[in-house]
């Protein structure tokens, strides 16, 4: 008898039979007992388990070691083969400002789709490319190596036409003509709003939050934030060296649109003396007073991190300092450098988790949702709850930044 099939049979008998035979409905993988901390798999794989409703938690893409248990996977795989709908065409696009980690998400969407026997389709240049019908099948061999690349291999553009109801209807028509059954949209607030509009028109769509601004409501962190934060931090660290040598004040302007997250976090991580964010408005006189005191106490520099949307802008504060005859300031705008570069390990992993969860959500019959990070878990949230709101800046973090930069009395 051939040894290999025998080994397989034995393995299946060991892993699958005991689980199928003995497991009660509450301890099968995929079942949500609602008891946090219990050693169960709560996940999108639950859809594959007969009699279980899809849950909104995707723990298999989570970090609990118990969730990645081999028996669970094998069990699920066997159900999956039975229930799988082969050949679903799922399109993926990246839209809005690019964010490091988008490629990891594209790769994960495509590979998860392939693993289900689906056909992933790539859309070039976001919604604009979709309107122009720039859609083609993903070549599996072209996915290798993209996980570590910055930018987006699919390209991205902002489309005015798509913002109109006519443009949105045209996209629905294009999707129908191309026989695309589902769409995964990777992008920020504007892109997710677009996804919601399509969902309202009956398109099966799942969004993946990706923006360096970290302003998308409902997720602890969006794709690209960690890399952008580290890029900003590297600049702050370098600036600190030269600022100390010259005893200068230095204002470092970081991106973030109307959200102060990048500025606040890079200020904390970089040990900056002050931070300017759109959410809180300091009095410039107070800030100058604080700077004077810092120098009096022997500080060799005064680093201010300013969000691009701060009410007291980086340019204004820089000018203000230079208008005093005593102090000197320089200003550095980190700018688009924050959007580029190889994604950090965190963004590669997050992109992988979000991409996998997005396809799992579609397979579970979910639509009009966004995948999001909630604690350790990847969850889904209805898009209509997410769009039109901005992720608030944590006032405790802002307060902490103040405590940590306070001068000794
Ligand atoms: O939303 C991402 C972002 O980089 C913002 O931080 C910034 O305000 C904006 O995009 C810049 O957009 P653009 O690349 O079109 O200049």
Do 328 and 181 share a structural domain?
no
For residues 249 and 321, the answer to whether their CB atoms sit within 8 Å is yes
- With 0-12 / 13-18 / 19 or more C-beta atoms within 10 angstroms meaning exposed / middle / buried, residue 243 is buried
Q: Is residue 393 situated within a structural domain?
A: no
Is the pLDDT higher at 22 or at 292?
Answer: 292
Q: Per the residue annotation, which of 98, 213, 226, 318 is the catalytic one? A: 213
Extended beta strands in 16-147, E state: 89-94, 119-123, 135-137
Specify the residue with its C-alpha closest to ligand 1, atom 8. Answer: 257
How far is 271 from 284, CA to CA, in rounded Å? Answer: 20
CATH number at residue 321: 3.40.50.460
Do 98 and 45 share a structural domain?
no
Q: What is the mean pLDDT of residues 347-354?
A: 98
Do 118 and 49 share a structural domain?
no
How far is 251 from 321, CA to CA, in rounded Å? Answer: 10
Do 12 and 61 share a structural domain?
yes
- Report which ligand 1 atom has the smallest distance to the Cα of 99: 2
Specify the residue with its C-alpha closest to ligand 1, atom 12. Answer: 97
Do 218 and 304 share a structural domain?
no
Do 120 and 22 share a structural domain?
no
Q: Is residue 402 situated within a structural domain?
A: no
How much distance in Å is there from the Cα of 385 to the middle of ligand 1? 23
Q: What kind and span of H or E run contains 298? A: none
Structural domain ending residue among the three candidates 76, 100, 126: 76
- Report which ligand 1 atom has the smallest distance to the Cα of 255: 6
Q: Is residue 274 situated within a structural domain?
A: yes
User: 145-203, pLDDT tens digit by residue?
Assistant: 999 999 999 999 989 999 999 999 999 999 999 999 999 999 999 999 999 999 999 99
How much distance in Å is there from the Cα of 308 to the middle of ligand 1? 10
- Report which ligand 1 atom has the smallest distance to the Cα of 309: 8
Do 347 and 285 share a structural domain?
no
Active site residue 213: yes
pLDDT of residue 19: 27
- With 0-12 / 13-18 / 19 or more C-beta atoms within 10 angstroms meaning exposed / middle / buried, residue 54 is buried
Do 244 and 348 share a structural domain?
no
- On the question of pLDDT at 66 being above 70, the answer is no
Site to substitute for ligand 1 among 257, 306, 308, most atoms within 8 A of C-beta: 257
How much distance in Å is there from the Cα of 409 to the middle of ligand 1? 41
Identify the weakest region by mean pLDDT among 29-33, 261-265, 274-278, 284-288: 29-33
Do 189 and 262 share a structural domain?
no
Confidence label for 84 from pLDDT (cuts 50, 70 and 90)? low
- On the question of pLDDT at 400 being above 80, the answer is yes
Ligand 1 neighbours by CB, cut-off 6 Å? 97, 188, 211-213, 255-257, 308, 339
CATH number at residue 358: 3.40.50.450
Structural domain ending residue among the three candidates 339, 371, 396: 339
Identify the weakest region by mean pLDDT among 4-18, 42-56, 295-309: 42-56
Structural domain ending residue among the three candidates 21, 42, 76: 76
Q: Is residue 409 situated within a structural domain?
A: no
Distance of CA 219 to the CA centre of its chain: 8
How much distance in Å is there from the Cα of 335 to the middle of ligand 1? 9
Q: What kind and span of H or E run contains 379? A: strand 377-382
Tokens of 226: 């960690």
- On the question of pLDDT at 38 being above 80, the answer is no
Model pTM above 0.85: no
Alpha helices (runs of H) in 118-252, residue ranges in sequence order: 126-131, 165-177, 189-200, 225-246
- On the question of pLDDT at 248 being above 60, the answer is yes
Do 312 and 213 share a structural domain?
no
Percent of the residues in the chain that have a pLDDT greater than 70, as a whole number: 79
- Total domains in the chain come to 3
- On the question of pLDDT at 69 being above 90, the answer is no
How far is 228 from 240, CA to CA, in rounded Å? Answer: 18
Q: Is residue 119 situated within a structural domain?
A: yes
Q: Is residue 193 situated within a structural domain?
A: yes
- Report which ligand 1 atom has the smallest distance to the Cα of 308: 8
Do 237 and 99 share a structural domain?
no
User: 134-145, pLDDT tens digit by residue?
Assistant: 999 999 999 999
Is the pLDDT higher at 346 or at 38?
Answer: 346
Do 273 and 238 share a structural domain?
yes
Structural domain boundaries enclosing 307: 225-339
């Amino acid at each position: 008898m051939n040894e290999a099939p025998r080994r397989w049979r034995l393995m299946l008998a060991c892993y699958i039979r005991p689980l199928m035979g003995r497991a009660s409905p509450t301890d099968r993988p995929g079942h949500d007992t609602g008891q946090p901390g219990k050693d169960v798999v709560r996940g999108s794989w639950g859809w594959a388990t007969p009699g279980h409703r899809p849950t909104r938690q995707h723990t298999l893409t989570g970090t609990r070691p118990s969730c990645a248990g081999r028996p669970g996977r094998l069990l699920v795989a066997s159900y999956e083969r039975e229930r799988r709908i082969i050949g679903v065409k799922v399109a993926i696009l990246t839209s809005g400002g690019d964010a490091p980690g988008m490629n990891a998400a594209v790769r994960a969407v495509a590979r998860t789709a392939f693993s289900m026997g689906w056909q992933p389709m790539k859309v070039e240049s976001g919604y604009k490319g979709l309107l122009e019908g720039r859609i083609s099948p993903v070549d599996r061999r072209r996915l290798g190596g993209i996980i570590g690349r910055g930018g987006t291999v699919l390209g991205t553009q902002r489309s005015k036409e798509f913002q109109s109801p006519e443009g949105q209807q045209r996209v629905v028509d294009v999707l129908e003509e191309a026989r695309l059954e589902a769409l995964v949209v990777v992008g920020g607030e504007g892109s997710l709003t677009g996804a919601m509009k399509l969902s309202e028109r009956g398109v099966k769509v799942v969004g993946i939050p990706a923006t360096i601004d970290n302003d998308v409501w409902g997720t602890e962190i969006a794709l690209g934030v960690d890399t952008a934060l580290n890029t900003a931090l590297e600049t702050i660290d370098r600036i600190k060296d030269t600022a100390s040598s010259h005893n200068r004040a230095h204002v470092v302007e970081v991106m973030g649109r109307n959200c102060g997250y990048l500025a606040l976090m890079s200020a904390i991580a970089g040990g900056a003396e002050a931070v300017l964010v759109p959410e809180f408005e300091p009095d410039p006189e107070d800030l100058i007073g604080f700077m004077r005191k810092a120098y009096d106490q022997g500080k060799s520099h005064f680093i201010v991190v300013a969000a691009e949307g701060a009410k007291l802008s980086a340019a204004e504060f820089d000018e203000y300092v230079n208008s005093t005859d005593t102090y000197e300031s320089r200003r550095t705008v980190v700018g688009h450098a924050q959007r580029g570069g190889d994604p950090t390990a965190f963004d590669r992993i997050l992109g992988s988790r979000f991409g996998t969860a997005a396809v799992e959500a579609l397979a579970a019959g979910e639509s009009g949702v966004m995948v999001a990070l909630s604690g350790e878990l990847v969850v889904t949230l209805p898009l209509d709850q997410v769009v039109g709101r901005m992720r608030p800046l944590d006032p405790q973090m802002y307060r902490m930044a103040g405590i940590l930069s306070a001068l000794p009395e």
